[in-house]
Structure formats: structure tokens, C-alpha cells
Amino acid sequence: IANEKTINDETINNETINKENINKETTNKKSTSKVRLSRGSIAVSGSDVVAYASKFLGTPYLWGGTTPEGFDCSGFTQYVYKHFGINVGRTTKNQIYDGYAVSRDQLQPGDLVFYGKNGMPSHMGIYIGDGMYIHAPRTGDVIKISPYDRKDYITARRVIR
């Protein structure tokens, strides 16, 4: 880690977000992670996750949605991972504690990326590589691919090993 201050603090709209608090909280909860592989020893790759998630491109956003008829952001990520036997929380605020923290320079396809304000997540998606992520953005929109490098980026989590 070249510059601890750069990694732990981020300025968003003139507010400094202390990522260290999130990482401490998530580290403390690491031993009770909700990530469980229920398909035995099947290896799941990030590219498998991205390929499956991509099948839902164009699916409408639906607040509270958890099925291919309509997804919200966390319902989408939960549904995709469940397909591979990986259980994550239902909401963005739950999923930010699943798996383990990953720094921006270590992102891999399949990692969960989180966005919000003051360290509180309000949106998320799945990193697909090349600076892009797949997500269910908002009411009136559809699942799509967008640049992941937003000003309200908080953190990333890896839920596959």
C-alpha cells in the first residue's frame, strides 16, 4: 500500500470519508461472514459471475426487486451470486459486510463495488473489469454497464475465493 491516506480517506463533494472505519467494521465481522459456498468445492470465477450477470442486461430496475422480472441493485447482486451457491445479504447495507475488503488497485471481475455518502452505501454493482461495472441503477432504468470510477465510490468486497 503506497499511500495509506489515499486509500483510507476520500474526498466526496468536499467531505472526507474515512474508509478506515468501514474496513475496521468489516474486518471485525470477517469471522462471521455470511459468504457460504453451498455447491461443494465447485470453483467459481469472476468471469463466470460476469457472464451470468450479463444475461440480465436490459432487465428493468424495480425497487425491492429480486427476480429477473425486475431487480434493485442489491437484489441483482444477491440473485447473481445465489446462482453460484454464494449467499450474500439482501440489502446494500448488508452486503458491504460480506466477503472481505479489496482495494481499488486489486479489483477483479466479480468483486462487489459500493457507492454512497459519508461511508453509508446506497448503491452497488459487480465489477466486470476494464474500469466498468454492471448494476441496476434506478427507477426508470435497466441493468446496464457503466464506468465504476464514480466520485461517491466507498469500497469493494470480494465474495468469491
Active site residues: 73, 123, 135
Nearest of 153, 99, 97, 106 to residue 125 by alpha carbon:
153
Nearest of 71, 55, 77 to residue 158 by alpha carbon:
77
C-beta separation of 159 from 124 below 8 A: no
Buried b (16+ CB within 10 A) or exposed e, 63-77: eebbeeebbbbbbbb
At residue 8, φ and ψ (nearest 5 deg) are -85, -25
Look-up: residue for cell 439482501?
Answer: 90
Question: If residue 144 lies in a helix (H) or strand (E), which one and from where to where?
Answer: strand 144-147
CA 38 to the chain's CA centroid: 20
